[in-house]
Amino acid sequence: MFEEQLKALPADPPRPLEALPGLAIRRAVPSLALIFPVIFLIFFGTVPLSLIQSDPTLRFALSPTGTTTGHILSIETTYACKSEKSHRVVYQFSPTPGTNIRGRATLCEQSIYYSVKEGDSVEVQYLTSDPVLSRLRSNGLQNDLAVYLFIFTPLFILAMFATLFWPPLRDIYRARRLFRDGRLTTGTVIFVKQRSSSAWRGWAGNTSAQIFIEFTGADGRRREGIAWCQNDWLTDQLPAGQQVHIAHDEQSRNVLLLEAFLR
């Protein structure tokens, strides 16, 4: 089948990849399968910006800060640290000469400033871009875990998507290399084996198959290779004993089924 198109392929490497339209990178993953990853990337591109603006911990972790010395204006006893006794203090500091800003902080018993009194000095950390947002220096470590989760969770999820994209992309790059530099010959289908990868509807791994093909290598010996085929219709046209056209190299069992990439 497809004899006329196959005869037009260059016999000697390196061959232009445009000779087989099916070798285009965009053919590796169906467009429908990209919808959810694209939505995810847009989500994680916009939501973090709003979170950074609303979460003081993230703003302190990701924005430039400055430190200065302030002093305590007032102290109030409360029960805020897991219902344990704590102190709620009001402090004042000057990020720039002539500017006085007040801030509030809740000090648990573990804080080094828990026993401060009115008028005592404290170290204040503030955002250089927005000095109104400040905190006592010793109070900035309790939520560091949330910062790390915020930074690394998208990386883990992107790694999950990478495992879904990798099999079809690996196959298409392997096919491009075999066609560009490999040896063209004919072979005989031994049998076809459906290959399962992702269970997600729409992913290329759902319908791909492995075609086991017997052929004669450059050294004259009979060899057996495995070709990847994503075309269900073509797979149904390949009974055992069917002659097919392939590209292969001498280093692996991977072969390229040319008929699968003519369209």
Measuring CA to CA, which residue among 60, 66, 71, 74 is closest to residue 95? 66
Q: Where are the domains of the chain?
A: 3-30+166-261, 64-128
pLDDT (0 to 100) of residue 225:
93
More confident residue, 91 or 194: 91
pLDDT (0 to 100) of residue 171:
83
Residues near 46 by beta carbon (within 8 Å), at least 6 away in sequence: none
Helices 144-181 and 35-54, axial angle in degrees (round to 10): 150
Model confidence at 194: pLDDT above 50:
yes
Tell me how far CA of residue 6 lies from CA of 12, 70, 88, 190, 224, in angstroms: 13, 81, 81, 21, 21
Tokens of 77: 């006893």
> Could you tell me if 113 and 138 are in contact, meaning their C-beta atoms sit under 8 angstroms apart?
yes
Band of residue 139 on the pLDDT scale cut at 50, 70, 90:
low
> Could you tell me if 90 and 124 are in contact, meaning their C-beta atoms sit under 8 angstroms apart?
no
**What are 24-82's pLDDT values in tens digits?**
877 777 667 677 777 877 777 676 666 666 777 777 777 888 999 999 999 998 888 87
Model confidence at 201: pLDDT above 50:
no
* 3-class state of residue 235 by DSSP: helix
More confident residue, 202 or 38: 38
The fold of 3-30+166-261 is OB fold (Dihydrolipoamide Acetyltransferase, E2P) (2.40.50)
**What are 206-251's pLDDT values in tens digits?**
457 889 999 998 888 899 999 988 888 888 888 999 999 999 998 8
